[in-house]
């Protein structure tokens, strides 16, 4: 038997071509695509198609979906964290956040991660597999349907390293922003990376208007080497060069993530070193109080220290803000929920 095709990962034009081979009219592809974009999980739900056609589709295609396994709602700010299971039982997390401008979701791109950053819950677990574009879309659709809302912003900051799943991530970006599909503009999407330099260059070539967010977390290679294994392969200067190239090609300002770790990367000298690195690139720095993860010794810097750090950078004209931590009562940083679930299972 031929493997079923992943219909949600297809572009409308591909579906049209595919259906034409079966002798199905083009307008049918539009109808099917509309259902798929709404997040239906089966062909039976496509009620404007004949039963015969639904059966024919079922023999050729498969609709990937994600299923809500657990859901945590923050009492503080309404942030909702989802634990989803994939078709093969792999687990990923997503987070829904409400801002003044609308709803934003943080989605996962891999089940697990190979990068092994020492402060990250996802990096502590085994890598399971890459997500398909359809599974990335499904996280957004499931959350929209569960809350009866429309999502306006998407950040690829959940579990996994998006650029380590490059082809699927690129296809997802094209699908989610397509007018035929969910129509969420690229300007409203952020891709976060620990710094896969070769892939940053490749993405820059695409000239998408997505925001690139780089997880830097250290002001020099000596410290970055200690917490991020990727730094053995690509040094900070390589990452910064890639950021410059990204901005040159896309016109987009890069976002620099810097997790504040007590007595590790939070001194006045660290702020000054960071300023020297970032001088001359078009960027915005986000300071994030690090979330303590079970099995790690990292503690967040005190808020006074973070404010001081922020001020030093701003005085030197490096645009810096302190990230508002949403859902802190529900461990809303991605990776923590699945990690805990594995603990619960003794995994």
CB 122 within 8 A of CB 341: no
- Single residue of 133, 160, 162, 181 touching ligand SF4 by CB under 6 A: 160
Closest residue to ligand SF4: CB criterion = 123
Helix, strand, coil tally for the chain in percent (to 5): 45, 20, 35
If one asks whether residue 293 binds ligand SF4 (CB under 6 A), the answer comes out as no
How far apart (Å, rounded) are the C-alpha atoms in residues 39 and 172?
15
If one asks whether residue 191 binds ligand SF4 (CB under 6 A), the answer comes out as no
C-alpha triplet 17, 21, 27: angle, nearest 5°: 55
Residues 6+ apart with CB under 8 A from 204: 242, 245, 246, 248, 249, 250
In the complex, which residues of this chain contact ligand SAH (CB under 6 A)? 119-120, 157, 161, 192-194, 215, 257, 259, 288, 290-291, 293, 333
Task: Compute the chain's Rg from CA coordinates.
Answer: 21
Looking at the Cβ atoms of 62 and 166, the one nearer to ligand SF4 is 166
User: What is the closest distance, in whole angstroms, from the C-beta atom of residue 161 to ligand SF4 in the complex?
Assistant: 4
- Residue 293 touches which of ligand SAH, ligand SF4, none (Cβ within 5-8 Å per kind): ligand SAH
- Residue 169 touches which of ligand SAH, ligand SF4, none (Cβ within 5-8 Å per kind): none
How far apart (Å, rounded) are the C-alpha atoms in residues 337 and 108?
12
- Single residue of 93, 142, 161, 275 touching ligand SF4 by CB under 6 A: 161
Half-sphere exposure of 77 (CA within 13 A, CB side): 18
Write the CA distances from 318 to 235, 243, 255, 274, 309, integer angstroms.
Answer: 21, 15, 11, 9, 11
Give the active site residue among 106, 194, 283, 334.
334
Is 106 one of the catalytic residues?
no
- Single residue of 46, 194, 330, 332 touching ligand SF4 by CB under 6 A: 194
- Single residue of 12, 115, 140, 254 touching ligand SF4 by CB under 6 A: 115
Write the CA distances from 338 to 73, 84, 196, 335, integer angstroms.
Answer: 16, 9, 24, 6
Residues 6+ apart with CB under 8 A from 61: 4, 5, 6, 7, 43
For ligand SF4, what does the binding mask look like between residues 215 and 254, x meaning CB under 6 A? x---------------------------------------
User: What is the closest distance, in whole angstroms, from the C-beta atom of residue 83 to ligand SAH in the complex?
Assistant: 16
- Residue 333 touches which of ligand SAH, ligand SF4, none (Cβ within 5-8 Å per kind): ligand SAH
Looking at the Cβ atoms of 7 and 194, the one nearer to ligand SAH is 194
Is 117 one of the catalytic residues?
no
- Single residue of 79, 104, 122, 134 touching ligand SF4 by CB under 6 A: 122
> Nearest to residue 309, comparing CAs of 245, 241, 262?
262
Q: Which residues are catalytic?
A: 93, 334
């Amino acid at each position: 038997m031929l493997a079923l095709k992943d219909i949600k990962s297809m572009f409308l034009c591909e579906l049209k071509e595919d259906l034409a081979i079966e002798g199905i009219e083009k307008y049918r592809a539009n109808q099917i695509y509309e259902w798929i974009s709404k997040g239906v999980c089966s062909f039976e739900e496509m009620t404007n198609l004949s039963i015969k056609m639904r059966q024919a589709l079922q023999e050729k295609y498969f609709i990937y979906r994600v299923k809500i396994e657990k859901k945590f709602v923050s009492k503080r700010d309404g942030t909702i964290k989802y634990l989803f299971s994939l078709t093969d039982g792999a687990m990923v997390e997503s987070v829904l956040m409400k801002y003044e401008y609308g709803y934003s979701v943080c989605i996962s791109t891999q089940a697990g991660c190979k990068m092994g950053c020492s402060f990250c819950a996802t990096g502590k677990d085994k890598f399971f597999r890459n997500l398909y574009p359809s599974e990335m879309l499904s996280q957004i659709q499931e959350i929209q349907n569960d809350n009866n809302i429309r999502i306006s912003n998407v950040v690829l900051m959940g579990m996994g390293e998006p650029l380590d799943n490059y082809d699927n991530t690129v296809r997802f970006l094209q699908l989610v922003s397509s007018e035929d599909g969910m129509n969420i503009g690229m300007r409203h999407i952020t891709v976060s990376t620990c710094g896969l330099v070769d892939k940053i260059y490749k993405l820059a070539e695409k000239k998408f208007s997505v925001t690139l967010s780089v997880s830097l977390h250290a002001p020099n290679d000596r410290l970055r080497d200690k917490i991020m294994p990727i730094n053995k392969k690509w040094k900070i200067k390589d990452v910064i060069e890639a950021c410059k190239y990204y901005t040159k090609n896309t016109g987009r300002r890069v976002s620099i993530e810097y997790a504040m770790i007590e007595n590790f990367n939070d001194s006045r000298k660290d702020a000054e070193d960071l300023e020297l690195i970032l001088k001359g690139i078009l960027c915005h720095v986000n300071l994030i109080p690090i979330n303590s993860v079970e099995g790690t010794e990292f503690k967040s810097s005190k808020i006074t220290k973070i404010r001081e750090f922020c001020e030093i950078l701003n005085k030197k004209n490096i645009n810096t803000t302190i990230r508002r931590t949403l859902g802190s009562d529900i461990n809303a940083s991605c990776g923590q929920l699945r990690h805990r679930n594995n603990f619960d299972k003794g995994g």
